[in-house]
Amino acid sequence: MSALPADVETAIRETLQESGVDLSRVLIERHGQDVVVKGAVNTAAEKALAEAAAARLSRRARIFCEIEVALIYEAAEDVVYEAGIESFPASDPPCWASRLGRL
Protein backbone atom coordinates (compact mmCIF):
# COMPACT_ATOMS: atom_id res chain seq x y z
CA MET A 1 0.00 0.00 0.00
CA SER A 2 2.28 2.71 -1.26
CA ALA A 3 -0.18 5.32 -2.51
CA LEU A 4 -1.78 8.01 -0.39
CA PRO A 5 -5.56 7.85 0.03
CA ALA A 6 -5.89 11.17 -1.85
CA ASP A 7 -4.10 9.65 -4.85
CA VAL A 8 -6.34 6.59 -4.71
CA GLU A 9 -9.44 8.79 -4.43
CA THR A 10 -8.43 10.64 -7.58
CA ALA A 11 -7.64 7.38 -9.38
CA ILE A 12 -11.04 5.90 -8.46
CA ARG A 13 -12.89 9.01 -9.62
CA GLU A 14 -11.01 9.07 -12.96
CA THR A 15 -11.48 5.32 -13.51
CA LEU A 16 -15.23 5.53 -12.87
CA GLN A 17 -15.62 8.56 -15.15
CA GLU A 18 -13.70 6.81 -17.95
CA SER A 19 -15.97 3.76 -17.51
CA GLY A 20 -19.07 5.90 -17.95
CA VAL A 21 -20.36 5.55 -14.38
CA ASP A 22 -22.70 8.37 -13.33
CA LEU A 23 -20.91 9.94 -10.37
CA SER A 24 -23.69 12.37 -9.43
CA ARG A 25 -24.73 10.20 -6.47
CA VAL A 26 -21.38 8.58 -5.67
CA LEU A 27 -19.30 9.83 -2.75
CA ILE A 28 -15.64 8.98 -2.25
CA GLU A 29 -14.43 9.57 1.32
CA ARG A 30 -11.06 9.21 3.01
CA HIS A 31 -10.85 7.95 6.59
CA GLY A 32 -7.20 7.82 7.62
CA GLN A 33 -5.60 5.22 5.35
CA ASP A 34 -8.96 3.88 4.16
CA VAL A 35 -10.96 5.02 1.14
CA VAL A 36 -14.73 4.45 1.12
CA VAL A 37 -16.73 4.54 -2.12
CA LYS A 38 -20.44 4.79 -1.38
CA GLY A 39 -23.67 5.99 -2.87
CA ALA A 40 -26.01 4.84 -5.60
CA VAL A 41 -25.64 4.10 -9.30
CA ASN A 42 -28.31 3.64 -11.94
CA THR A 43 -27.65 0.07 -13.08
CA ALA A 44 -26.13 -3.20 -11.93
CA ALA A 45 -23.55 -2.78 -14.70
CA GLU A 46 -22.41 0.54 -13.19
CA LYS A 47 -22.20 -1.13 -9.78
CA ALA A 48 -20.04 -3.91 -11.24
CA LEU A 49 -17.75 -1.31 -12.87
CA ALA A 50 -17.38 0.55 -9.56
CA GLU A 51 -16.61 -2.65 -7.66
CA ALA A 52 -14.08 -3.73 -10.30
CA ALA A 53 -12.34 -0.35 -10.14
CA ALA A 54 -12.19 -0.56 -6.33
CA ALA A 55 -10.81 -4.11 -6.49
CA ARG A 56 -8.20 -3.14 -9.10
CA LEU A 57 -7.00 -0.20 -7.01
CA SER A 58 -7.18 -2.03 -3.68
CA ARG A 59 -3.55 -3.01 -4.12
CA ARG A 60 -2.68 0.64 -3.55
CA ALA A 61 -4.85 1.28 -0.44
CA ARG A 62 -7.65 -0.24 1.61
CA ILE A 63 -10.82 0.46 -0.34
CA PHE A 64 -14.33 -0.28 0.83
CA CYS A 65 -17.02 -0.23 -1.84
CA GLU A 66 -20.53 0.43 -0.51
CA ILE A 67 -22.26 1.11 -3.82
CA GLU A 68 -25.95 0.28 -4.22
CA VAL A 69 -28.16 0.19 -7.32
CA ALA A 70 -30.78 2.93 -7.04
CA LEU A 71 -34.34 1.68 -6.84
CA ILE A 72 -35.51 4.77 -8.70
CA TYR A 73 -33.68 5.61 -11.89
CA GLU A 74 -33.15 9.36 -12.12
CA ALA A 75 -32.71 10.00 -15.81
CA ALA A 76 -32.12 13.36 -17.35
CA GLU A 77 -35.25 15.42 -17.91
CA ASP A 78 -37.10 14.41 -21.06
CA VAL A 79 -39.30 17.32 -22.12
CA VAL A 80 -40.96 15.42 -24.98
CA TYR A 81 -42.04 12.56 -22.69
CA GLU A 82 -43.21 15.03 -20.03
CA ALA A 83 -45.27 16.99 -22.59
CA GLY A 84 -46.89 13.76 -23.77
CA ILE A 85 -47.83 12.78 -20.23
CA GLU A 86 -49.25 16.22 -19.46
CA SER A 87 -51.34 16.35 -22.65
CA PHE A 88 -52.95 12.92 -22.24
CA PRO A 89 -55.77 12.50 -23.08
CA ALA A 90 -55.51 14.85 -26.02
CA SER A 91 -59.28 15.36 -26.19
CA ASP A 92 -62.37 14.48 -24.23
CA PRO A 93 -63.58 10.91 -24.62
CA PRO A 94 -66.67 10.40 -26.81
CA CYS A 95 -69.95 10.57 -24.98
CA TRP A 96 -71.97 7.40 -24.65
CA ALA A 97 -75.52 7.58 -25.91
CA SER A 98 -78.07 4.91 -26.56
CA ARG A 99 -79.44 4.33 -30.02
CA LEU A 100 -82.91 5.31 -28.87
CA GLY A 101 -81.82 8.74 -27.76
CA ARG A 102 -82.15 8.06 -24.06
CA LEU A 103 -79.81 6.63 -21.48
Closest CA relative to residue 8, chosen from 50, 36, 48? 36
Runs of H (alpha helix) within 21-91: 44-57, 79-86
Q: pLDDT for 13-33, tens place per residue? A: 898 888 888 888 899 888 888
Cα-based torsion angle of the residue sequence 37, 39, 40, 41 in order, rounded to the nearest 10 degrees = -30
Q: pLDDT for 35-87, tens place per residue? A: 899 999 988 888 998 888 888 888 777 888 899 998 766 566 778 877 777 77
